[in-house]
A = this chain, B = another copy of it.
């Protein structure tokens, strides 16, 4: 299907120089790495987990009761079920869906040949060249949301771009959701850490978008991890009920450090990830048939020296390629990878690992890429410079995926060969004059000057240039327009809920 879609689209490659799309419509074909034998064996393992191993749904009698009523086999809190039935349930989820943004020009399509990039999620620390490493706070949070909003290569702002640790945990979600809704008009996520926080997110989305829009569209999603191996705890099942129950989207992500939360082999961990996420998808479809669902994947390798997770390594690169193909066969939108690294600083290690992780994420066809920019320290810290450096590189991936290789007559440039002799140059040819302005991706942060000019400019490395750039971006930030009545209603909702909720710091 992908190949057919591309074949028909390659004839009309995306016009170069068109304004950046709110999401990537992929023309480049998918990279299918698995042959029939591999597919058959991996899918048989997934089915074996559904039928024989089972997956626990813990501390949530309501979830177990639904599974029992619908015909699953329950033993303790372990759910086993006929594999074909689970696959049939997953087939009820849409292959692609639109997440509507409050600014309709920024709505994104998730699934199919579309790819959406969002920043880092969940880091307790932040780091920048001036302030060093410190706990995240609301001030950093708002700056980072503004930067994600401003950056043309980020299509979605995620949610926990850093943890605002100066706000009580019990109230933090309100400030975070409000910031995404008011400081940006790109699509974003809602909270999931507790059922009431998910509900607050959905209620605020209803204020922002209106009931009618929300009744008929996905306007917000939750992103939640299973408790691998083989455990879907109530945070997941409750988030599914809140989001999917309201017709909204959910991203469910098995976080598997291979060798710890999954067997020490990549193939087994890939199969386990598929099984956990598909079981959650099946549950979501029981809650509401047709609910938007994104199959998450987060497999990391491990250092044998320290037991710490490692990133950008060959095992997760291969698992990205593989799980892309498996997700397409399952007909489910995919989240995977991102610009991941274990480095503590914005050095070459951070960039090598992030690039290999993201290059494989891109080729995997990941439809929703959280952590596409900003990761440091295995996700413990959001880097201001790292966010801007990664995002600059995302522009390259955007062009690779969205334009592929243009073979229009104009691109074949036959007329230019009438003007240029052997050993000559094409710089002044009519074809070059007609096309040079849109021929090349122009990164903002890569320096291609010669060494003398670079030294005259102060020998700034990429990190220093990124620092300059994010500061300049914040100086130029303007809040996107929002109906004042809606903004007031949102603020009132937050104030009311903050009054109701106790201050809790963990």
Residues of B with C-beta under 8 A to A407? 37-38, 41-42, 267
Query: Is A461 part of the contact surface with B, judged by Cβ < 8 Å?
Result: yes
A309 to B450, CA, bound (A): 10
Q: Which residues of B contact A42 (CB under 8 A)?
A: 407
Does A22 belong to the interface (CB within 8 Å)? no
| A103 adjacent to chain B (CB < 8 Å) | no
Question: In the complex, A414 Cα to B44 Cα: how many Å?
Answer: 12
From A58, A352, A393, A450, name the one whose CB has the most chain B CB atoms within 10 angstroms.
A352
Copies in the complex: 2
**Closest chain B residue to A354, Cβ basis:** B352
Instruction: Name the B residues within 8 Å of A400 (CB-CB).
Output: 314, 317-318
The digit string for A289-310, where 1 denotes a CB below 8 A from any CB of B, is 0000000000001111110111
Q: How far is the CB of A467 from chain B (nearest CB, A)?
A: 12
Asked if A20 is at the interface (CB within 8 A of a chain B CB), the reply is: no
CA distance A152 to B359 in the complex (A): 24
Are A445 and B349 in contact (CB-based, < 8 A)?
yes
Number of A residues near B (Cβ < 8 Å) is 134
The reply to whether A35 and B56 contact each other, CB–CB distance below 8 Å, is no
- In the complex, the answer to whether B38 meets A231 with C-beta atoms within 8 Å is no
The complex places the Cα of A420 from the Cα of B78 at a distance, in Å, of 13
Known A268-B413, A348-B389, A352-B355; judge A38-B10 contact (CB<8 A).
Answer: yes
A314 touches B396 (CB 8 A): yes
CB pair A347–B461 under 8 Å, yes or no, is yes
Whether A303 pairs with B264 at a CB distance below 8 angstroms is no
In the assembled complex, the Cα of A264 lies from the Cα of B440 at a distance in Å of 9
Partner of A342, one of B133, B405, B448: B448
Q: How far is the CA of A77 from the CA of B315 in the complex (A)?
A: 53
Sample 25 A-B pairs with CB under 8 A, ordered by A number. Answer: A28-B33, A29-B32, A229-B422, A229-B423, A229-B425, A259-B436, A259-B439, A263-B416, A263-B432, A265-B406, A265-B439, A268-B412, A271-B412, A303-B442, A310-B440, A310-B448, A312-B446, A315-B440, A318-B400, A318-B404, A342-B447, A344-B451, A352-B354, A355-B359, A378-B448
Chain A interface (Cβ < 8 Å from any Cβ of B): 3, 6-7, 10-11, 28-29, 31-35, 37-38, 41-42, 45, 48-49, 53, 55-56, 58, 77-78, 133, 227, 229-231, 233, 258-268, 270-271, 301-306, 308-310, 312-315, 317-319, 322, 342-356, 359-360, 363, 377-378, 380-381, 389, 393, 396-400, 403-407, 410-414, 416-417, 420, 422-427, 429, 431-432, 435-437, 439-443, 445-451, 453-455, 459, 461-463
- Closest CB pairs A-B (n = 8): A355-B355, A351-B351, A263-B413, A56-B422, A348-B351, A314-B399, A347-B461, A349-B462
